[in-house]
């Protein structure tokens, strides 16, 4: 299966691993090994965090194992329809309190930095990641026996680029095949002065 080529019209010349990263829903059938997953987690664990508290927690499953199936059961039906193509599924979670037992205001920010490292490392090795808000957080919290001091954030599907688009539900194929990526211009979200609402 020929890989889908996406164009990224950047305003500045950024590194290729950022420029070529995108979030497919169709993945190649080639398995991802546990050592490859650990490589991604190694990249993540070196992310910066407030006072180096590292609030991120991850549950991962490889296609064919019981944990993968348990994660799949926590996804909303829309995501189950396409995430079954993934070779690895993850649940991301975060610690709600800091080292002093107080609310950890920056925990989700720090988890985002962790996942930023993970997805760029993944892309560097030819692995795509698609992050999902569509997970039943309460069900996942119970299923994986998290304590009350932790919150569930997202699920993530991983697989190699180059999947067969025909395996997707028909309603998702057109979006998958779209070749031009888009983002807001820098001037719409960054201001050298006062904030200006653009929405």
Could you state, in order of their start, the residue ranges of all structural domains in the chain?
A: 32-168
Which percentage of the chain shows pLDDT scores above 70?
98
175 pLDDT more than 80 = yes
User: pTM of the prediction?
Assistant: 0.94
Given the structure tokens 């991850």, which residue do they identify? 58
Per-residue pLDDT reduced to its tens digit, 26-85 = 999 999 999 999 999 999 999 999 999 999 999 999 999 999 999 999 999 999 999 999
Closest CA to 76 of 132, 115, 23, 130: 132
For residues 81, 83, 84, 89, the Cα torsion angle rounded to the nearest 10 degrees is: -150
Reading the block at residue 86, the tokens are: 């993934």
110 pLDDT more than 90 = yes
| The listed CATH number (3.30.70.120, 3.90.960.10, 3.30.420.40, 3.40.109.10) that belongs to domain 32-168 | 3.40.109.10
Work out the average pLDDT over 83-105.
Answer: 96
> Is 157 strand, coil or helix?
strand
Work out the average pLDDT over 154-170.
Answer: 95
Given the structure tokens 């057109």, which residue do they identify? 174
Across the chain, mean pLDDT equals: 95
1 pLDDT more than 60 = no
172 pLDDT more than 70 = yes
Work out the average pLDDT over 106-116.
Answer: 98
120 pLDDT more than 80 = yes
């Amino acid at each position: 299966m020929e890989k889908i080529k996406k164009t990224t019209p950047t305003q500045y010349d950024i590194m290729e691993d950022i420029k070529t990263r995108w979030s497919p829903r169709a993945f190649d059938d080639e398995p991802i090994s546990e050592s490859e997953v650990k490589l991604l987690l190694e990249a993540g664990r070196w992310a910066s965090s407030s006072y180096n508290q590292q609030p991120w927690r991850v549950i991962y499953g490889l296609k064919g194992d019981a944990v993968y199936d348990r994660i799949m059961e926590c996804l909303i039906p829309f995501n189950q329809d396409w995430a079954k193509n993934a070779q690895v599924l993850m649940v991301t979670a975060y610690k709600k309190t800091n080292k002093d037992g107080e609310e950890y205001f920056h925990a989700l920010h720090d988890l985002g930095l962790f996942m930023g490292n993970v997805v760029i490392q993944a892309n560097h090795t030819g692995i795509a990641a698609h992050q999902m808000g569509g997970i039943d957080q309460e069900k996942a919290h119970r299923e994986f026996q998290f304590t009350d001091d932790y919150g569930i954030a997202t699920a993530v599907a991983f697989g190699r680029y180059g999947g067969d688009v025909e395996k997707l539900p028909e309603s998702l194929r057109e979006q998958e095949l779209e070749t031009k990526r888009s983002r807001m211009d820098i001037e719409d979200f960054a201001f050298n002065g006062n904030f200006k609402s653009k929405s």
